[in-house]
Structure 1
């Protein structure tokens, strides 16, 4: 007990004597575990989603101060895309139909969304980091899924006591759009199979499969019974990407997902049928959005201005509420808010990141057995697929600045960037210099 007390009291002096690289190492360790905890506690409530990114920033800033030269951000070649895209958001907030309303709409996402790629990319320095992050997502899938199972059995979720909503599970997020969240979470969690193979090589394949199934089955249950069609599509697209990256199927096998989709649409539940999709309220929103876009096709109306814009044009939704603030498609929203010029910039950012990371993963996967750096490429592929899940969900899910959705997806983006940058560096420098930052 005395030695622990002495260590605590001597910590400030030890910190003052430490070199900048050592301070940076400590800051990055704190950053990683704060980010890990923010993932693991995300569904528990708004307080966790608010404080997690703020605490991460308190570690990121000193890390960049003492160790920017060794940071992932400094070595990331496409950092200029962040400047262009975030600059677009700033301009379209200032030059808006209602700048004050746009500012209120954008501001909470500065630390809860826009900062997360920079946090996450510093938390994916090696395969050990990625294994730990995969475990975080697997844990979340398990307990949030179990919450959904409990809700299905009792009518209320265990964490927030939310009732089943319109026959659909909500989990602890208190909305059936939890299906979109759990889809994003499940994608990296699937990587627990590879983590178990690496951590327990003597474990029989059927035992690894049983453990993986036990961890992921509750999340899959929640995904199915939340009935979020955008989540279904995103998760399916992510699995196809993983299939291509990790197993390289022959070209003619790539037709099988399309055949499977056609069968599901024809024989599956009525909610995911083509007939139901054609009666969806999104059709009315997209038609209204097109009229709004035509009024200002190049410059748009400003961030978050879909509602004020259609009211200014005297458009009146019939199926949807007059208070709706977004057109239920991120891409259409960018066309409304920033015009076709801004949409082009947004697509350059979103898909430029995917093309850059996907190209490198295609080149290095599937990895050879026993290749230490190959493990990093393999686990990084799950976050590439996670980013694809987000981009597909964005076709028909939320608005861009839906805080919880943006937080998870921007975390995936950052980990994807960090895994790619550091895997490339590891390939160029297989033996890290002694005493380097970890």
Structure 2
């Protein structure tokens, strides 16, 4: 083993960098595929990614994407702020408890995705990994629906709600996010000789197990995330904006609220218990409006301020809204830094991918189309944050941040390739 390491270190630096990057890429592929099937896979994948990433930067940081791609440094400054928000927290022990697992499982993922992308084949392979992941998880959900127990952990369903191998109906949020890059199967089937209708039926057939679990987990934030991401993809990337599309989406939403599943009914939404959590959270924002209380301190701050919940237990740890949590944790400063960073990277990634879709040479269009599906997956993560988890929930943060990293990697690689060709990107009219 040590002999092999010594021999490897004798290689040229460029070859060592290439080996490390290839290892990082395949670790990410396996990580995406197995992520939802156990916490051990999440820990191992995150830990290996961190080790390989550090080795890559130590070997040749100057030629890394992080060194060459300035927008990625927004994440570095974001992490510095998060560190300060933990260190200066009113309850630093609590803040550290929630932040610690993300050091190797969550925060490393954007940089891993950034460094892994070097060509169209990388985006295609990662999309295949996402498809395998949701297809397998979907089959587990179908098995649970038929037998009452999932195949991996032998967990029962929670009443009528399926959980797959993730123990709770949070699987709906996971599926709502990862179904988006998995839907890039549409691009695999995009052959000139195949009619549009046939491609659509084939795509739905391949995605049907995953869609089944996504639907019957009855997770509204997951529903909203996937549908919202597809709408964003349709509106802003793979088509042009039009008021007819707006009208069609508005009518569809109205029909779902009027005649859709009970959990999506207007009455059910207006009576949702999150409203009380949001009200209590906003009260906390008004009491510490500038710097907040510290990372992930919603429960402690509420108790300290004497704010009681009537419909929920008093130990609810977060307000079920990522953006409200930013304001509670860090006040206006935290809201601007955290929200601005995540939404800003989403906006600028969208702008670059759109430019690539509409202005690049025809041979490069497929590259940017794959990038668009990963961007939409990140949009789904941001949408589920409206009603979903604690920002520091490790599996959720890792999922969203990996998709962000892949977007940034596609953006960085696209810019570098265009510079090599001597063609600077043009802004669409």
TM beyond 0.5: yes
Q: Are 2:349 and 2:375, in contact at CA under 8 Å, matched by a contact in 1?
A: yes
CA, structure 1 residues 305+357, in 2 after alignment: closer, same or farther (shift >3 Å)? same
Deviation of 1:230 after TM superposition, in Å, equals 0.8
Name the CA distance, whole Å, in 2 between partners of 1:205 and 1:293.
50
Corresponding residue for 1:332? 324
Corresponding residue for 1:130? 123
Corresponding residue for 1:183? 176
Of 256-265 and 64-73, deviating more is: 64-73
In structure 2, the gaps of 5 or more residues are 423-429
Deviation of 1:423 after TM superposition, in Å, equals 1.3
Q: Say whether 1:268 aligns with 2:260.
A: yes
Corresponding residue for 2:86? 93
Report the TM-score when normalising by structure 2.
0.93
Q: Are 1:367 and 1:377, in contact at CA under 8 Å, matched by a contact in 2?
A: no
Q: Are 1:30 and 1:59, in contact at CA under 8 Å, matched by a contact in 2?
A: yes
Q: Are 1:330 and 1:395, in contact at CA under 8 Å, matched by a contact in 2?
A: yes
SS in 2 for 1:41: helix
Q: Which residue, 96, 107, 111 being the options, matches 1:103? A: 96
Q: Say whether 1:419 aligns with 2:401.
A: no
CA, structure 1 residues 260+318, in 2 after alignment: closer, same or farther (shift >3 Å)? same
Q: Are 2:163 and 2:217, in contact at CA under 8 Å, matched by a contact in 1?
A: yes
Deviation of 1:214 after TM superposition, in Å, equals 3.1
Q: Say whether 1:227 aligns with 2:218.
A: yes
Name the CA distance, whole Å, in 2 between partners of 1:293 and 1:103.
21
Q: Are 1:246 and 1:366, in contact at CA under 8 Å, matched by a contact in 2?
A: no
Q: Which residue, 152, 159, 170 being the options, matches 2:152? A: 159
Q: Are 2:140 and 2:150, in contact at CA under 8 Å, matched by a contact in 1?
A: yes
Name the CA distance, whole Å, in 1 between partners of 2:21 and 2:319.
39
Q: Are 2:326 and 2:339, in contact at CA under 8 Å, matched by a contact in 1?
A: no
Q: Which residue, 18, 26, 48 being the options, matches 1:25? A: 18
Deviation of 1:215 after TM superposition, in Å, equals 2.6
Deviation of 1:253 after TM superposition, in Å, equals 2.4
Deviations 1:223-246 (A, max 9, x none): 110111111111111101211211
Of 397-406 and 358-367, deviating more is: 358-367
Deviation of 1:75 after TM superposition, in Å, equals 2.1
SS in 2 for 1:78: helix
Name the CA distance, whole Å, in 1 between partners of 2:132 and 2:72.
31
Q: Are 1:366 and 1:378, in contact at CA under 8 Å, matched by a contact in 2?
A: no
Corresponding residue for 2:309? 317
Question: RMSD between aligned alpha carbons?
Answer: 2.0
Name the CA distance, whole Å, in 1 between partners of 2:139 and 2:253.
28
Q: Are 1:168 and 1:227, in contact at CA under 8 Å, matched by a contact in 2?
A: yes
Name the CA distance, whole Å, in 2 between partners of 1:20 and 1:28.
12
In structure 1, the gaps of 5 or more residues are 1-7, 432-438
Deviation of 1:17 after TM superposition, in Å, equals 3.0
Q: Say whether 1:40 aligns with 2:21.
A: no
Corresponding residue for 1:240? 231
Of 20-29 and 285-294, deviating more is: 285-294
Name the CA distance, whole Å, in 2 between partners of 1:16 and 1:126.
26
Name the CA distance, whole Å, in 2 between partners of 1:82 and 1:379.
23
Q: Which residue, 351, 363, 370 being the options, matches 1:359? A: 351
Q: Are 1:165 and 1:175, in contact at CA under 8 Å, matched by a contact in 2?
A: yes
Corresponding residue for 1:435? none
Deviations 1:92-124 (A, max 9, x none): 111112111211111111111111100111122
Deviation of 1:367 after TM superposition, in Å, equals 7.0
What number of residue pairs does the alignment pair up? 421
Q: Are 2:323 and 2:385, in contact at CA under 8 Å, matched by a contact in 1?
A: yes
